[in-house]
Amino acid sequence: MEVNEVFEKVKNLFVEELGIDEDKVSMESKLEEDLEIDSLGIVEVVMAFEDEFGIEINDEELSDVETVGQAVNLLHSKI
Amino acid sequence: MSKKRVVITGLGTVNPLALNLLETWKKLCDGDSGIGEITQFDTSNVSIKIAGEVHGFDAEEIFGKQYARKLDRAGHLTLQATKDAIEDAGIDSSERLGPNCGIIIGTGIGGLSATENAVRVYDERGEKRVSPLSITQIMPNSSTGQTSIKFGIEGPSSTITTACAASANAIGEAKRLIENNFVDMVIAGGTESATSGMTISAFSQSRALSSRNSDPEKASRPFDKDRDGFVMAEGCTMMFLESEESAKSRGANIYGYLVGYGSSTDAFHITAPSEGGIGASRAMDQALEDAGLSPDKIDYVNAHGTSTKINDVTETLAIKRSFGPSAENVSISSTKSMVGHLLGGAGAFESMVCLMSIKDGVVPPTINLDSPDEECDLNYTPNNSIEKDISYAMTNSFGFGGHNAVLIFSKN
């Protein structure tokens, strides 16, 4: 799967599952500041990623992820 | 130091009759019913198919999906009723209310749909798929916490879970906070959204619910000899309480005064009221004493009146015990005949009724009271509202667990 395909899936999850405004979601947007996803929300995001992509993400892998782009790259590397 | 007087300057309600105060009040005075067939879940597996549901309230549309999905439905209803109460008090709800405002919310069950969802997901998919938002929706204080955040309420807060007495207790405790000068303002009330297949089954198995599925609007019939149980309902009612000085200094509209609060416990049986309504009567006596009133001064009693066999008879005995000869004269009604039983939200809804009765001089009826039970022989205002100047109104709330809470409101 290409990076941009992963991004489209991630964006779709954010919009459909979490109710986030489509216009806010770009590779550069920051999860906490721009998308208002708090620490509990991050756990939800991970659950959604795991279901969508059939992978597992542990807390350590996630600790450096601050932007949508970083999340997309992490997912891309695991698929 | 002398106690401060406590006034109510704002009311907000979202309930099966209507999504706002004035329409709710009009329907109560007209004797309309908010009970209907359950639409929120598939009732094919349960024997009770009727309830009081809030219709036309789309939380995602009102609050936005990203925010709405963090709260349970009881929380959604609370945010709306609180916003309405604050604005009704003439205060900008977008400003933080700060440390001089407290919040006390009563609820019977808490975030029920979140609880049920989490159990379902855990059973089917295991630990890793249980939502991280579950706890913050399940906990009974969820609505209190979320409401405090939304409106910047930084004073004392608590959540009271004395079942169907919860929101009367909440409003009573708010009185104590203000009159003893802890804060000038408290937002208090009660919320409930707990109608599901599981709770319907549980209440039904305890023989508490009406099974009059074929005629929902006739199902809640307090004090009638053909009553067969209560009807579950959802909703939230919140009120803005403040010290009289606070209200007058800002020129606020005053609905009425909260002058009496009584609170007692049966310590008898987990569901049945104490014999002769002794516990309930003690709470009425306390409220009268707190208000410095003799019972003959009370013009209207909004009864607990659930439409169960045992409550309505026992409450009649309790009123007679506390009121003595004046029990024959006082106007009484149960608005649960129209809105159903809001459980933890009931006491706040019925407090709202008392305040509107005082304001407009109307006693709303007990509908469906066609053949009075011989053991319920007081003036229960059958079927039609009456006009009557009301200086003092009392509301009774009794809960499983043996909790009794009574409030008295006054015009002056």
Parse chain A into domains and list their residue ranges.
3-78
Domain boundaries, chain B: 6-249, 263-410
CB-CB contact of B209 with B233 (8 Å): no
Q: Report the chain A residue with the minimal C-alpha distance to residue B127.
A: A47
H runs (alpha helix) in B31-94: 59-63, 65-68, 73-88
The CA distance from B123 to B176, in Å, is 44
pLDDT of residue B124: 96
Q: Read out DSSP for B387-409?
A: E---SEEEEEEEETTTEEEEEEE
CB-CB contact of B402 with B370 (8 Å): no
Mean pLDDT value across residues B8-34: 98
Choose the closest CB to B132 out of A18, A36, A44: A44
- 3-class DSSP assignment, residue A51: helix
Q: Which residues of A touch B127 (CB under 8 A)?
A: none
pTM for the model:
0.96
Burial of A59 (0-12, 13-18, 19+ CB in 10 A): exposed
CB-CB contact of B288 with B327 (8 Å): no
Same fold, B6-249 and B263-410: yes
B117 touches chain A (CB under 8 A): no
What mean pLDDT, rounded, does chain A reach?
91
Q: Is the pLDDT of residue B146 over 80?
A: yes
Q: Please give the helix or strand (H or E) that residue B192 lies within, else none.
A: strand B185-192
User: Which candidate, B21, B90, B92, places its Cα nearest to that of B242?
Assistant: B90
Active site residues of B: 164, 304, 341
Token duo for residue B328: 């024959």
Q: What is each CA distance from A11 to A20, A28, A39, B3, B391, in whole angstroms?
A: 9, 12, 19, 58, 60
Share of chain B above pLDDT 90, in %: 98
CA distance B334 to chain A (A): 42
The CA distance from A79 to B288, in Å, is 71
Q: How remote is the C-alpha of B44 from its chain's centroid?
A: 29
Please state which CATH number belongs to domain A3-78. 1.10.1200.10
CB-CB under 8 Å, A19 with B65: yes
Q: Which residues of B touch A40 (CB under 8 A)?
A: 132-133, 136
Mean pLDDT value across residues B165-184: 98
Rg, C-alpha atoms of chain B: 20
End-to-end CA distance of chain B: 22
pLDDT of residue A52: 87
Token duo for residue A39: 């620490």
CA distance B60 to chain A (A): 9
pLDDT of residue A64: 87
Q: Is the pLDDT of residue B335 over 80?
A: yes
CA distance B400 to chain A (A): 35
CB-CB contact of B232 with B199 (8 Å): yes
B132 touches chain A (CB under 8 A): yes
pLDDT of residue A45: 87
Q: Report the chain B residue with the minimal C-alpha distance to residue A40.
A: B132
CB-CB under 8 Å, A43 with B132: yes
Q: Which residues of B touch A36 (CB under 8 A)?
A: 66
Token duo for residue B52: 């009081």
Any bridge partners for residue B410, and if so which?
Answer: B257, B392
The CA distance from B277 to B265, in Å, is 11
Token duo for residue A64: 């450096």
Choose the closest CB to A40 out of B67, B129, B133: B133
- Contacts with A55 (C-beta within 8 Å, 6 or more apart), sequence order: A49, A75, A78, A79
- 3-class DSSP assignment, residue A67: strand
What ipTM score was computed for the predicted complex, to two decimals?
A: 0.86
Q: Is the pLDDT of residue B403 over 90?
A: yes
Q: Is the pLDDT of residue B252 over 80?
A: yes
Mean pLDDT value across residues B370-378: 98
Q: Name the CATH architecture for the domain at B6-249.
A: 3-Layer(aba) Sandwich (3.40)
B121 touches chain A (CB under 8 A): no
Burial of B169 (0-12, 13-18, 19+ CB in 10 A): buried
Neighbours of A38 (CB within 10 A): 12
Q: Which homologous superfamily is B263-410 in?
A: Thiolase/Chalcone synthase (3.40.47.10)
Helix axes A3-18, A68-78, angle to 10 degrees: 120
Mean pLDDT value across residues B2-19: 97
The torsion of the CA quartet B25, B29, B35, B39, rounded to 10 degrees, works out to: -40
pLDDT of residue B392: 98
Q: Is the pLDDT of residue B246 over 80?
A: yes
Q: Report the chain B residue with the minimal C-alpha distance to residue A47.
A: B129
